[in-house]
Amino acid sequence: MLHVSLSAPLNFARMALILGSCGMLSASEVRVWGSTSLTDRTAAENTALYTVPAGLVDATQVAISDRSVAALRATGEVVVWGVAGQPRLTVPVLAQSGVIQISASFDAFHALRSDGTVVTWGVSNASVVTMVPSGLTNVIKVHGGQDSAIAIKSDGTVVGWGNDWVSPTVGFTCQDAFPNAIAIQSNGSLSHWNTNPTQVALNIPVGLTASAIFSDGSLFAGAVSASGAVTMWGPAGASELNVPAGITGIKQIALGYNHVVALATNGALTMWGNAVVLRPEIGVPFGWSGCQGISAGYRFTAAVFTLPPNGSAPTNMALTGQAVEFQAVANTAIGTFTLSDADPGDRHSYALISGTGSTDNAMFSIVGTQLRVGSTALTAAGASSLVLLVRATDSGGLFTEKSFTITVGPAPIVIPPNNEASKGGLFGGCGAGSGLALLLAALAASVRLVVRIR
């Protein structure tokens, strides 16, 4: 099932959305996140989707088409990544420069060029969704539907193409529209020109006005009013219709597969729908702010975030825990990295690096901000010290490095059974092999461990 979102008031898409018009960002970051369930996609497919190309720091819009993501750079170039083998991954020459807006259908991307023409690519050349009408010019917006697309010309007329495109029976002008025939008039009122009763999204609430419309085709639709209020409609009982109470100042919504993402004018994100219940990891990560535009797909989301000014490298890197048990099992958590940064809201990554103080790096791993035992159990001798070298890098590439010493706990003391040393009981003697001597040795080892932790 496909779901679409339209962006206000410039961009629309289906099964995906584009970013609203957000201008040229001096520095931005594209983030893609969502389901990690192997029933939705394989681990390799998730990695291909969620790994944003290096150096993409000037994106202004994003769009999702099935298992691929497109980003429009401030230079006018479209960049695409995703699951291998898709024709959409090959960006045509005409979309490598001069593009001002992007959108998506289920299996195709659409790009509006600055000269008012449209270029579309994806699926096979025989698919009508890629067949832009000959001579189409003076386009000011392009929006993708499931298997169709629509272009809005400067005079308000609409031109569409594809399998599920329904042409207006009479002349029709509007300030914006979607391929399933939902339109917004110049006075903000909503209307449609397709009377297909199976398309419940066309049952527009009476008297609704909006500054932007959003739709997933035949199932769901939504509108954002001039005051930033959200109205959703579609099949009765659907969780996507349950707009959370109290959300205000919304400028854009994106409709994915059973989830809705709302973007506020202050850059905050809100998400709801059945997919969020089934896959909690697709929700908005805590603390994310500064979003400029969104796109939603099959249980995953793509967004562009403005980066804060980055003029200072991180400092004061520390590790909350610096001791580990003797022969700890693989992936045992040891401690959490912290640091300081003069740039508010900056984001950081941590990595083990080679250099002075990296002797024992191979025994460890870093997951997020957490230091862990590596992929195999720790083999270091008891009551020994291990050293590792860590680099913390901020969003602008500035970094700090520090070597840490990890203390390994003492090996457990094993008292041989049925020998002379044990016959006297714990306090049966004071010789080197007596229980008391062993207890004192263990206490001494513990004292040494405490002294060496730093």
Mean pLDDT, all residues of the chain = 83
Q: Which residue has the higher pLDDT, 368 or 125?
A: 368
Beta bridge partners, 173, equal 157
Alpha-carbon distance of 207 to 93, in angstroms, equals 45
pLDDT confidence tier of residue 396, bands split at 50, 70 and 90: confident
Rounded CA-CA distance 375/330 in Å is: 5
Q: What are the tens digits of pLDDT across the range 140-154?
A: 999 998 888 999 999
Cβ atoms of residues 180 and 201 within 8 Å: yes
List the chain domain ranges. Answer: 4-306, 315-408, 420-452
* pLDDT value for 135: 95
The percent of residues in the chain predicted with pLDDT above 70, rounded, is: 83
pLDDT of res. 128: 84
Residue with tokens 């490095």: 401
Contact 61, 22 (CB under 8 A): yes
pLDDT 10s digits, 355-367:
999 999 999 999 9
Euclidean distance between the first and the last CA atom of the chain, given in angstroms as a whole number? 56
- Quote the pLDDT of residue 418: 64
Task: Report how far residue 320's alpha carbon sits from residue 335's, in angstroms, rounded to the nearest whole number.
Answer: 5
User: CB of 259 within 8 A of CB of 299?
Assistant: yes
CB 251 within 8 A of CB 233: no
Q: Percent of the chain, pLDDT > 90?
A: 54
Neighbours of 77 (CB within 10 A): 15
CATH of domain 315-408: 2.60.40.60
Give pLDDT, residue 444: 47
Q: Check: CB of residue 156 under 8 Å from CB of residue 175.
A: yes
Q: Which among 86, 84, 62 has a CA at the least distance from the CA of 72?
A: 62
Task: Name, in order, each residue with C-beta under 8 angstroms of 387's C-beta and a sequence gap of 6 or more.
Answer: 357, 358, 359, 360, 403, 404, 405, 406
Contact 4, 255 (CB under 8 A): yes
pLDDT of residue 411: 80
Is the pLDDT at 162 greater than 50? The verdict is yes
Section 371-377 average pLDDT: 93
* pLDDT tier at 345, thresholds 50, 70, 90: low
Q: What is the mean pLDDT of the segment spanning 421-447?
A: 49
144 — alpha (psi -120 to 50), left (phi > 0) or beta? beta
Average pLDDT estimate for 7-18: 30
In this predicted structure, the answer to whether residue 318 has a pLDDT above a threshold of 80 is yes
CA of residue 273 relative to chain centroid, distance: 17
How far is Cα 375 from Cα 378, in angstroms, rounded to an integer?
Answer: 9
Q: Is the pTM of this model over 0.85?
A: no
pLDDT band at residue 95, thresholds of 50, 70 and 90? very high
- Higher-confidence residue: 450 or 31? 31
Q: What does the pLDDT average to over 30-34?
A: 96
pLDDT at 88 (0 to 100): 93
pLDDT digits 0-9 by tens, 256-297? 888 999 999 999 999 999 999 999 999 999 888 889 999 999
Fold for the domain defined by 4-306 = Methylamine Dehydrogenase; Chain H (2.130.10)
258-265, long-range: CB < 8 A, 24+ apart: 258/3, 258/299, 259/296, 259/299, 259/301, 260/222, 260/232, 260/296, 261/5, 261/294, 261/296, 261/301, 261/303, 262/230, 263/20, 263/291, 263/293, 263/294, 263/303, 264/228, 265/228
